[in-house]
Chains A and B, each alone.
Chain A
Amino acid sequence: MCGIIGYVGTDRSDAADVLLHGLSQLEYRGYDSAGIALADGRLDVHKREGELSALEDALAGADIGGQTTGIGHTRWSTHGPPSDRNAHPHTDADGRVAVVHNGIIENYQTLRDELAAEGVDFRSDTDTEVVPHLIAGFLEEGLDDEAAFRAAIERLEGSYAVAAVFEGSETVYAARNESPLVLGVADDGTYLASDVPAFIEYTDRVIYLEDGEFARLEGDEIAVTDAEGRTVETSIETIEWDPEDAGKSGYDHYMRKEINEQPAALRDCLRGRLDELSGRVTLEGFEDLELRRPVTLVACGTSYHAALFGVQLLREWGVPAQAFLASEFEADAVPIDTDSVVVGVTQSGETADTLRALREASAAGATTVAVTNVVGSSAARETDRVLYIRAGPEISVAATKTFASQQAALTMLAASLSDHRSRELVRELRSVPDRIQSVLDEDAAREVAATYADASAYFFIGRGYNYPVALEGALKMKEITYKHAEGFAAGELKHGPLALVTEQTPVFAIVTGDGRRAEKTIGNVKEVEARGTPVVAVTDGQSEVGRYADHVLEVPPAGEITSSMVANVQLQRVAYWTAHELGRSIDKPRNLAKSVTVE
Chain B
Amino acid sequence: MGYSAVVLAAGEGKRLRPLTTHRPKPMLPAATKPILEHVFDALIDAGVTDITVVVGYRRTRVQSEFGPSYRDVPLTYVTQGKQLGSGHALLAAEQAVEGSTLVVNGDQLIDSRIIRDVVEAHDGESTAATLGLVRRADVTRYGGVLLEDGEVTEIVENPRDDRSYRLNAGVYAFEPAIFEAIRESEPRAGEQSLVDGIDTLLEDGTRVQGVVSEGTWIDATYPWDLLRIADDLLEAGEGRRIADSASVHESATVIEPVVIDDDCVVGPGAVVGPNVCLGENATVGSNVTLERSVVDTDTRVDNGATVRDCVTGRGVEIGPNSTVVGGPGDVEIGDRIHRETSLGAVLADHVRDEGGVTYEPGSVVGNGAVCHVGATVGGTLSAETEVWG
Contacts and interface: CB of A to CB of B under 8 A. Distances in A.
Interface of A: 242, 244-251, 257, 260-261, 263-264, 267, 270-272, 275-277, 430-431, 433-435, 437-438, 440-441, 556
B382 interface: no
The residue among B75, B79, B263, B350 with the most chain A CB atoms within 10 A of its own CB is B263
A320 B270 CA distance: 41
Contact of B298 (A246, A257, A276, A431): A431
B297 interface: yes
Contact of A247 (B67, B79, B281, B350): B67
Contact of A437 (B79, B247, B267, B314): B314
Interface string B48-68: 000001010011100111111
Contacts of B55: 250
Given A250-B55, A250-B79, A431-B298, A244 B262 contact: no
27 contacts: A244-B69, A247-B68, A247-B74, A249-B68, A249-B75, A250-B59, A250-B63, A250-B77, A250-B78, A250-B79, A251-B60, A257-B67, A260-B64, A261-B67, A264-B64, A267-B262, A267-B280, A271-B245, A271-B263, A276-B267, A277-B265, A277-B268, A434-B281, A434-B315, A438-B315, A441-B58, A556-B350
* Most chain A Cβ neighbours within 10 Å, of B55, B72, B77, B78: B77
A267 B281 contact: yes
Nearest to B65: A264
B242 to A, nearest CB: 15
B247 A245 contact: no
A248 B267 CA distance: 39
Interface of B: 22, 53, 55, 58-60, 63-69, 72, 74-79, 245, 247, 249, 262-263, 265, 267-268, 280-281, 283, 297-298, 314-315, 350
Nearest to B70: A244
Nearest to B316: A434
Given A244-B67, A249-B67, A267-B262, A430 B283 contact: yes
A270 B22 contact: no
A277 B67 contact: no
B281 A249 contact: no
Contacts of A264: 64-65
A441 B58 CA distance: 8
Contact of B63 (A257, A263, A438): A257
B9 to A, nearest CB: 11
B162 to A, nearest CB: 45
Query: Which 6 pairs show the lowest CB-CB distances between chains A and B?
Result: A250-B77, A247-B68, A434-B298, A244-B69, A434-B315, A249-B68
B66 A249 contact: yes
B68 A271 contact: no
A272 B298 contact: no
Nearest to A276: B265
Contacts of B262: 267, 271
Contacts of A277: 247, 249, 265, 267-268
Contact of A244 (B68, B77, B79): B68
A264 B262 CA distance: 12
Contacts of B283: 276, 430
Given A267-B263, A433-B281, 10 more contacts: A250-B59, A250-B77, A257-B64, A257-B67, A267-B262, A275-B247, A277-B265, A431-B315, A434-B298, A441-B58
A270 B63 contact: no
B316 to A, nearest CB: 10
Contacts of B314: 434, 437
Contacts of A248: 68
Nearest to B314: A434
Given A249-B75, A250-B59, A250-B77, A438 B68 contact: no
Contacts of B53: 250
Contacts of A556: 350
Given A267-B262, A433-B281, A438-B315, A249 B298 contact: no
Contacts of B60: 251, 260, 440
A430 B280 CA distance: 11
Contacts of A441: 22, 58
Contact of B74 (A244, A261, A435): A244
Nearest to A272: B245
A283 to B, nearest CB: 15
Nearest to B265: A276
B350 A438 contact: yes
A79 to B, nearest CB: 37
Contacts of A440: 60, 64
A49 to B, nearest CB: 31
A445 to B, nearest CB: 13
A246 B76 CA distance: 13
Contacts of A438: 315, 350
Nearest to A270: B263
A498 B63 CA distance: 42
A106 B297 CA distance: 54
A351 to B, nearest CB: 26
A516 to B, nearest CB: 26
A382 B76 CA distance: 39
Contacts of B74: 244, 247
A580 to B, nearest CB: 15
A556 B247 CA distance: 26
Contacts of A275: 247
Q: Which of B63, B67, B280 has the most CB of A within 10 A?
A: B67
B263 A430 contact: yes
Given A260-B60, A276-B247, A433-B281, A249 B263 contact: no
B60 to A, nearest CB: 5
Nearest to B249: A277
B288 to A, nearest CB: 13
A277 B65 CA distance: 29
Contacts of B79: 250
Contacts of B298: 430-431, 433-434
Contacts of B280: 267
A383 B320 CA distance: 46
Contacts of A251: 60, 63
Nearest to A260: B64
Nearest to A258: B64
Nearest to B21: A441
Given A247-B69, A438-B350, A261 B64 contact: yes
Contacts of A244: 67-69, 72, 74
Contacts of B64: 249, 257, 260-261, 263-264, 440
A435 B315 CA distance: 8
A248 B249 CA distance: 40
A584 B262 CA distance: 39
A264 B268 CA distance: 28
A277 B66 CA distance: 31
A558 B53 CA distance: 36
A434 B69 contact: no
A62 B298 CA distance: 57
Nearest to B23: A441
Nearest to A426: B265
Nearest to B69: A244
A242 B69 contact: yes
Given A250-B79, A260-B60, A277-B249, A245 B265 contact: no
B150 to A, nearest CB: 38
Nearest to A431: B298
A263 B79 CA distance: 23
